[in-house]
Amino acid sequence: MITWKNIATHTYNRYSGNAEMCAVLSTSGKLYPGVKVENASFPLTISEFQSAIFSCLSEGDKPEILYIPAESEQSVPQIWIDTYNLTVEYIAEIPNQPLGTNLTELPQDVRKHLIDLQQFCQIAESNFPVSSLLEVEPGRFLHGVNIELTDWQLGLCAERTAIAKAISLGYRDFHSIHIFAPKGDFISPCGACRQVLVEHLPYKKIYLYHPDGTTSEHTAAELLPAFFNGNSIID
Ligand code: THU
């Protein structure tokens, strides 16, 4: 049974202390919690709507109802309602429905698994698919794919979709991330993703699966030298 109280504890609100959350019920009757995921660089903060809706879409599921806590004064930006044809309900208790997200073991053929996940990418704008596998417990993974809207600023990269999904489900310590894109010479997380990766797994392995069949290993701290550290805001 998922409760607002429980989802509130997942909010990554290191800088504001405010809990912002919602949940999506999909057409297949599955629940996807979504919390706000703040970032030291405030404009890179992921909204609770992105977290919940993109968690649902990344599983190949279709969002139908957007639940908001009854006592919340938060309003839902119309763009989310219009884009996904959502019904919004302010409710005190979340219906007892199963979660739509499952952990997976690292498959033997990681590259093939990352390729298979790309069926869930929503890439009408770029036609550039990206998929990721985030290690949320030792040996156990959640996936992310890139999701685009006509308003480019509202979409998320595959890396950030996985992080938003994982944090919304209550995971905080990440052990590695595997990232794949089939186009180009050398795939590489974008600057915004580096800033988010450095916030959540600065020194853990980032495995990149390049289109030519090779892989490379990095850390977010190496990819973003002298990164902006959130401690400077809190101190
Ligand atoms: N993209 C990712 O998913 N990860 C990256 O690190 C680079 C960019 C996506 C975002 C957008 O959907 C498309 O690729 C083009 O920028």
DSSP bridge pairs for 90: 68
**Confidence (pLDDT) at 40:** 97
Please name the fold of domain 4-91: Cytidine Deaminase; domain 2 (3.40.140)
Ligand 1 atom 12 nearest Cα = 146
Which tokens is 143 given? 């996936």
Strand 63-69, strand 21-26: pairing: antiparallel
**Confidence (pLDDT) at 74:** 84
- Closest alpha carbon to 137 in 93, 106, 109: 106
For the chain, 235 residues long, give each residue's pLDDT as a single digit of tens: 899 999 999 999 999 999 999 999 999 999 999 999 999 999 999 999 999 999 999 999 999 999 999 989 889 999 999 999 999 999 999 999 999 998 999 889 999 999 999 999 999 999 999 999 999 999 999 999 999 999 999 999 999 999 999 999 999 999 999 999 999 988 999 999 999 999 999 999 999 999 999 999 999 999 999 999 888 898 7
**Cα–Cα distance between 108 and 203 in angstroms, integer?**
24
**Confidence (pLDDT) at 82:** 98
Length of the chain: 235
Domain 104-223 sits in CATH 3.40.140.10: yes
**Confidence (pLDDT) at 176:** 98
Mutate to test the pocket of ligand 1, among 114, 134, 148, 157 (most ligand atoms within 8 A of CB): 157
Domain boundaries, the chain: 4-91, 104-223
Question: Same fold for the domain at 4-91 and the one at 104-223?
Answer: yes
**Cα–Cα distance between 150 and 86 in angstroms, integer?**
17
**Cα torsion angle, 146, 150, 152, 153, sign:** negative
List all residues whose CB is within 6 A of at least one atom of ligand 1.
123, 126, 128, 130, 146, 148, 155, 157-159, 189-190, 193
Q: What is the pLDDT of residues 46-60, one digit of tens each?
A: 999 999 999 999 999
Which is the closest atom of ligand 1 to the Cα of 125?
12
Q: Would residue 59 show up in a list of annotated catalytic residues for this protein?
A: no
Q: How remote is the CA of residue 73 from the centroid of ligand 1, in Å? A: 33
**Confidence (pLDDT) at 218:** 98
**Confidence (pLDDT) at 1:** 85
Which tokens is 234 given? 């809190």
